[in-house]
Chain A
Amino acid sequence: EAGVTQSPTHLIKTRGQQATLRCSPISGHTSVYWYQQALGLGLQFLLWYDEGEERNRGNFPPRFSGRQFPNYSSELNVNALELEDSALYLCASSLTLTSGSDEQYFGPGTRLTVT
């Protein structure tokens, strides 16, 4: 069974540009989560999509946005990039949350470098 995939592996942008990161969940998973892992800060929750809807977002400015497509893949967009946006961006997927919680499975991440 294929795991969570993310693209691109690495992305280099300059300050002020926009970045688009992509994620494909495990087959059968309908929930997609996005996290930012910056050096020394641990995993910070960004966004949660389920069944095409944004269900929750973390404490990040509106220039971090995304969407989930009908096939449950997802896209994270970061506008007006700032130097501190440089981080590893991780996508995770899980089954749809119904009466409880399900494990999240992570992709390998996209390393975004803003110069």
Chain B
Amino acid sequence: QKEVEQDPGPLSVPEGAIVSLNCTYSNSAFQYFMWYRQYSRKGPELLMYTYSSGNKEDGRFTAQVDKSSKYISLFIRDSQPSDSATYLCAITDNTGNQFYFGTGTSLTVIP
């Protein structure tokens, strides 16, 4: 079983829609959860970082962690065409020895 599973999509939504991106993980020792956005031909950029269960909000983005279900989500409100990118989830344990990444979900927001 892979450490992190992420639906690769692709996901296509109209502008203004609410987008839900999800990952599941296998090891309950994982404590730190991140979401990255990667535009085509660019390196990933950190969007959200959280280490506890619950929600963390930053503008139109909300990261949600459910440790009991080993499930993490990223919600994008009022999606914009500029949100079109690949979104990767990443997790690590408290040693940070290795980061595990999902394969990424490709999102297209249609004007």
* Contact of B95 with A97 in the complex, beta carbons under 8 Å: yes
Partner of A101, one of B42, B44, B92: B92
* Contact of A107 with B99 in the complex, beta carbons under 8 Å: no
Interface residues on B, range: 20 to 34
* Contact of B103 with A56 in the complex, beta carbons under 8 Å: no
Given A42-B88, A42-B104, A43-B101, the answer on whether A100 and B96 have CB atoms closer than 8 Å is yes
Give CA–CA (A33, B36) in the complex, Å: 16
* Contact of B46 with A105 in the complex, beta carbons under 8 Å: yes
Chain A residues with Cβ below 8 Å from B46 are 103-106
Interface residues on A, range: 20 to 34
Chain B residues with Cβ below 8 Å from A90 are 43-44
Which parts of B81-111 form the interface with A (CB within 8 Å)? 88, 90, 92-104
* Contact of B98 with A104 in the complex, beta carbons under 8 Å: no
Interface residue? A41 (CB, 8 A): yes
Given A106-B45, A108-B43, the answer on whether A101 and B96 have CB atoms closer than 8 Å is yes
Given A43-B88, A43-B101, A58-B98, the answer on whether A103 and B43 have CB atoms closer than 8 Å is no
